[in-house]
Amino acid sequence: MLLGWLREHQQARGTKEGCNEGDCGACSVVLARKQGEHIDYQPVNACIFPLANLDGTAIFSVEDFGNRQALHPIQQAVVDEHGSQCGFCTPGFIASMVAGQLGKVEHSAEVQIAGNLCRCTGYGGLIRAFEGQRNTPQPAAFRAKLDAAESWIKASDAGGFECHGTTGSIYAPSTLKDLASLRSVHPDALIVAGATDVGLWMTKGLKQPPKLILTTYVHELHAVEQTAEHFCFGAAVPYSQVGPTLLQDYPEARDWFERLGSVQVRASGTLGGNIANGSPIGDGPPLMIALGASLRLRKGETLREVALEDYFIAYGKQDLAEDEFVEAVLVPRRQPGQRLMVEKVSRRIDQDITAVLAAFSETSVGLRLAFGGMAATPKLAKTVMASRQASDIHKDFEPLSDLRASKAYRLRVAENLLRAFLEPDASNPSQEAAQ
């Protein structure tokens, strides 16, 4: 992973390891990559960022921004605002904040740094540092590094390579055609997109898959298309690019988007990966199912489309042939008069895995009530959809108790949220729910 390369090979030890699984942000670095004609700047978690995904990009770590003689304005502001105590988290915060400046983000400082944990400070100095400097231009020395990187990123033609090492092979096609044929030749290979799931299998599970096929460089899988009927997201489009498009039609999903992982995770992770991995607690599928999304699957030259709710068959089992892959996710555009409610229930507001995700949509065609965390797969509550009785949720689901929530809680919350959607005028929902 990128972090090991920085710390061991480059002896660039400013960037820290706090968790080795994408959750603490101590390893954050700034990634610069091509997005259309622009350069997209994002913080990423180096601990789960595969080196193979770095072609045609530039990485900047804390050592690059400034030095003790000439601190970067963000660094100076963190000093002035007393934003560090033990200092272990600090380089990661600085990277997230510099990325926020470069990416000209519009959301709050809190959202920009929600993927970075600090156990010492209460975040106040860090928030003030970013708010005060978010529009400050980059210092000349760092600007020069950025300019140099930008020009070669623009000129570079990433992907289209293979690596064969002692523990395995990596295939990095740059066209859909090559991907399709590689997939046919190597149906046993593991597809890797942003690696925010796959990375953990390696860093925590210590898996060494012998064959990897990357989708990162496949141009066609990076397309975001809008027609009158659909948004079409290529399977390798990171969340950071899915969000803004989707929110045009569905502003109710802003919380869903901003609470999905962190800025870092959204910069790497893809909607395609989130769906493809078949997790019952992914945040993408329930919303997509509620919106009536479908998947475009490809096998060689053959394409087929499946409704998303039919794609999830059972725990760990999807309607995806061995040599098939997800090409795109098609999301219907908003209907006139459509009502939408998306609620994520988790222990912490940000960057937490869902206990229950509820996504409800009502259009002239009908009601779609989708849930994650309630069953072995993301699923529609079909009984309730027919009866419009929130209490019928018990007939649809028999959720598990696990470390995130008990079965009783999951059912209770699901019922409360359903009631709020189905009977929006009830004055005090929780009081009635108890009766």
Q: Does 384 bind other proteins (CB under 8 A)?
A: no
Cα 178 to Cα 146: distance, rounded to the nearest angstrom: 32
Verify binding: residue 210, ligand FES, rule CB under 6 A: no
Number of residues that bind ligand FAD (CB under 6 A): 32
Q: Is 235 in the site for ligand FAD (CB under 6 A)?
A: yes
Residues 244-273 that bind ligand FES (CB under 6 A): none
**DSSP classification of residue 238:** B
- Interacting partner of 282 out of other proteins, ligand FES, ligand FAD, none (Cβ under 5 to 8 A depending on kind): ligand FAD
Residue 174 in tokens: 């740059």
- Taking the complex as a whole, the smallest distance from the CB of residue 122 to other proteins amounts, in Å, to 4
Residue 121: both structure tokens together: 């400070």
DSSP string, 289-303: HHTT-EEEEEETTEE
> Between the CA atoms of 206, 211, 216 and 222, what dihedral angle is there, to the nearest 10 degrees?
-120
**Binding test (CB under 8 A) with other proteins, winner from 38, 124, 177, 391:** 124
If binding is defined by CB under 6 A, does position 208 make contact with ligand FES?
A: no
Would you state the structure tokens that stand for residue 186, as one six-digit string?
Answer: 């190597």
Cross-sheet strand order for the sheet of 230-234: 224-226, 230-234, 325-332, 294-299, 302-307
Q: Least Å distance between CB 44 and other proteins?
A: 17
Q: Does 85 interact with ligand FES (rule: CB under 6 A)?
A: yes
Q: Nearest CA to 99 among 112, 117, 114?
A: 112
133 binds other proteins (CB under 8 A): no
The listed partner (other proteins, ligand FAD, ligand FES, none) that binds 71, CB under 5 to 8 Å by sort, is other proteins
Give the dihedral sign, CA 213/217/222/223: negative
* Residue 131 found at the interface with other proteins (CB under 8 A): no
> What is the number of residues in the chain?
435
Distance CA 379, CA 49 (A): 31
Binding letters toward ligand FES, positions 6-45, x by CB under 6 A:
-----------xxxx-xxxxxx-----------------x
Does position 204 interact with other proteins (CB under 8 A)? The reply is yes
CB proximity list for 130: less than 8 A, separation 6 or greater? 74, 77, 97, 100, 109, 112, 113
What amino acid is encoded at 394 in this protein? H
The site for other proteins, by CB under 8 A, has a size of: 89
* Binding segment toward other proteins, per CB under 8 A, in 244-252, 291-299, 363-371, 422-430: 422-430
Site for other proteins contains 405 (CB under 8 A): yes
Q: Is residue 283 a contact point for ligand FAD (CB under 6 A)?
A: yes
* C-alpha span between 236 and 252 (Å, rounded): 24
**Mapping DSSP to helix (H, G, I), strand (E, B) and coil, where does residue 81 land?**
coil
Looking at residues 152 to 211 of the shown chain, list those that interact with ligand FAD (rule: CB under 6 A): 190-198, 200
Under the binding rule (CB under 6 A), the answer on residue 351 touching ligand FAD is: yes
Binding site for ligand FES (CB under 6 A): 17-20, 22-27, 45, 47, 84-89, 118-121
